[in-house]
Amino acid sequence: MVLETNLENKENKKEFENLLKEDFKKRDLKEGGIAKATISEIGKKFIFVDLKAKSEGIIPIEEFKITKELDSLKVGSKIEVYLERIESFKGELVVSREKARRMSSWKRMEKAFNDQEEVEGLITSRCKGGMIVNVSSCLCFLPGSQIDTKPLKNSEIDELMNVPLKFMCVKLDKIRGNIVVSRRAILEKTKNQDLKNILAKIKEGDIVDGKVKA
């Protein structure tokens, strides 16, 4: 009798899991992907989101404070979340706002790298060999040689910290998750464009003003 009950419970559980997976497929919910969610409650430590699943997702409020997103959120707001687990060992839905931001940022950086587009970011801290740049929650490495076209003093580098600057994505390693950016490439591009503009306005035989540099 006990064996039959256990078998019946296992069958019911398996059937429920299959129905749950089928339901998630219809809602386009899958682990390792980004899903749309609606904020159902904003607490002091956690934010609860509704994905029309068996249970609500619970996200630590710190994940929203990183980009000051919390100030603009309210119950009913739509956000994107990263679905880590459809059901944890506790039977809970495991989601992350920060990982969704990173994934979206990575896709934007991938496009910027392929199309050679400029991106805007902040130099947030120093590290071995260079600096850390935050581009839309995506942390990138800025080598010391790529900060400027000329060597800078520490005081000059300090003036660039936490100031919106333009960068070019010069290397992207998807396997290791590494992104290398260059500010120097932007400065050289601007310098070359300025030179082209100057040369377009003068011709052989013109008398022009110049400054002795060395």
Summarised one tens digit per residue, pLDDT across range 109-129 is: 999 999 999 999 999 999 999
Sign of CA dihedral 55, 60, 63, 64: positive
Question: pLDDT tens across 171-193, in order?
Answer: 998 777 789 999 999 999 888 77
**3 or 142, which is more confident:** 142
pLDDT of 24: 47
Average pLDDT over residues 38-57: 86
Which of 107-116, 152-161, 194-203 has the least mean pLDDT?
194-203
For residue 51, what pLDDT band results from cuts at 50, 70 and 90? confident
Is residue 166's pLDDT more than 90? yes
